[in-house]
Structure 1
Amino acid sequence: MYVINNLVEFRPNEKSLTNRSTGLVVPLLLPATLCLLCLISHQGEVVPQNTLIKEGWGVRDGITIPNTFYQTVLTLRNALEEVGLSRDIIRTIARRGLTLIDTTIIEYVKPSVPQNSVDTGVEDNKANTSLTLTLNKKILALLKTVTFVFFIIAAINCILLYQRRATMPFQNFVLLSAPENANKKCKIYYEPTEPSIDSYVDFAKKHPEFCIKKDYVYLSGYSNTGRIVSFVCNNDARRDVSAFCSTNYYWSRHQ
C-alpha cells in the first residue's frame, strides 16, 4: 500500500484509491492502476508513453490505440481529484511522456508481520496470570460488563453501516469526463466492466442531452453485446437515497 500526500491510500492489489479523512473509495481499472504504480516507482522521472502502455496493457500493448491511453490517463487524473488530490500531480511532458512530480509525498506501508504464535501465547499466558492475581472480582465484573456493552454497540453500528451501504447503488462507478458541449456541472460515471472506455466516451458524445438539466449520469454496458444503459439522476445516487433517476436502454451503441 502507498500513502500519497498523507491523505490518500493507493492499494494496487485492490485497484483502488481511498481518502483517509472521508473514507471515500474510488475504484480504478487495471491499466490505470498499473500506470500509476509505474509512475510512483519512477517518481521525478519522465516515463515515456510506450513504457506506460507496455506496463498498463501488457501483451495487448500492440493493439492499444493512443485514444485509449489518453482516456485512461484522464480517468486516472479524475479519480485522483475525486479523492482529494490535485490532478496536476501527474504532469505531461510534451513529446516525452508523463511524470509524477517530485514534490508529491509517497510513503510505502509494508504489511504488518505477525508475531510468532508460540511467543505470543507465552506472553498472553503471563499477562492473563498477572491480571488474575492483581484484579479483584469487582474490577473483573466491571471489565466484563464494559466489554459486553462495547460488542453490542459495535454490532449495532455494523448492522447500520451495512444497511446504509446496501441501499446505495453505483458505488463502483468511475468518473468520466463530460462532452465539451455539456453542462459544466454534469458528472458522468461509468461501470468499469471493460479494459477500454471508448464505448462510453462515444456514447456520451452522441447523447449530450443527458447533461442539459440533470447533474448525474451513470452508464453501464458491454461492448461485445452492444448494450448500454443510462441512469440519469437529479442528485448523486451513490450518496443520496432520495435521488430520482430515469433509465434508458440502448441495444446498439450506434443509437
Structure 2
Amino acid sequence: MDTIYVIDNVLKFNPATHTLHAIKTDKNITLAIPASLCFYLLIKNKGRIVTQAELLQNAWGERGMNVTPNTLHQNISLLRKSLNRLEVNGTLIQTIPKRGFMIADETSILIQQEVSSGETDSDTSQDTQALITVHNSHEEIAPASTPAPAPAPANDNVKPVAMLAVLNTSLMNKKARWALAGIISLLIVLLHIDFDQHTTGDAPFTAYTLISAANNCKIYRNEDLRFDTFYLDFLKAHHITCSDGRVFYMTNHYPSSRTSVISCRYPIASNKKSYCISDYYLK
C-alpha cells in the first residue's frame, strides 16, 4: 500500500518512489532522493517553518553525510524547477529568510492510500481510496468517490465503523515514528551544531582533521575509525585530483563504504563564500 500526497488537486507525490505526477497533464518526474526527502518533510510539517538544520539532518545527516547549506539550497532549487515543469504553483515552497522553508497552511494536501489488487479481499475488491485531509492537529476523513450519506435519524445509534476502519494503523505508526525521529534529530542538531545564518555554516567541519596539504590543496577528513590512507587511496581509486588551492572535506563512517567528498574553492571556516560542490560515492 503506497501513501500518495495529493497537493491542491493538481499534483501527486509518492515519497516511496520519489516521483511527482501532474494530474492534468499526466506527466511524471523522478526527483533526486535528497530533494524528495526535503519535499516530504515540508509536506509533513505543512504550515510550520522547517529549519535548514532539520532539512540537512533529514536528507543527509541520517545517512552519515555532512553537506553545506549551499547543497540544501541547490536541492530546493531543483525541486522548484521540477514543480514548475509540471505547471504547479511556483510559490508552493516558500523561503523564510534566515530561518528555513515552509508550505503554506492553506495549501490543500490529501493523503491517498492506494491499495493494490493483491491486498484486497472479497469484501474490499472494489476500487476504494481513502482521502485524509492533513491538518496540524487533526485529520478529516472522507471516502474518495462515495456520495455523502443521508443524515441519520436521531435514534440511530449505529457507529461509523466504516469511517474508523479507514484509519490505517500502520500509517499512524509510521507518522509517529517520523515525528519522533524529527524531534530527536532536531535535538541532536541543536546540541551539536550551531547554525548561524550570518556565516557559511562551518560548524559541521570544525572537527575535521587535516591529512594532506600537497599541491597547494588541503584535504580534511572526519573523525572515524578509518586511517588517513583510506581517504587518500579513495581519491586515487576514483581519479579525483585536488589542486589550485582547493579544499576537500571527506566523510565516511566505518564500516559503511559510502563516502562524500565536498570540494570547495575556499575553506568553509573562512568568512568568504566557499563555493562548494558535493559528490557522493556508494562504493
Report the TM-score range of the alignment, normalised by the length of the smaller protein. Answer: 0.3 to 0.5
TM normalised by structure 1 equals: 0.44
TM normalised by structure 2 equals: 0.40
In proportion to residue count, which structure has more helix? Answer: 1
In proportion to residue count, which structure has more strand? Answer: 2
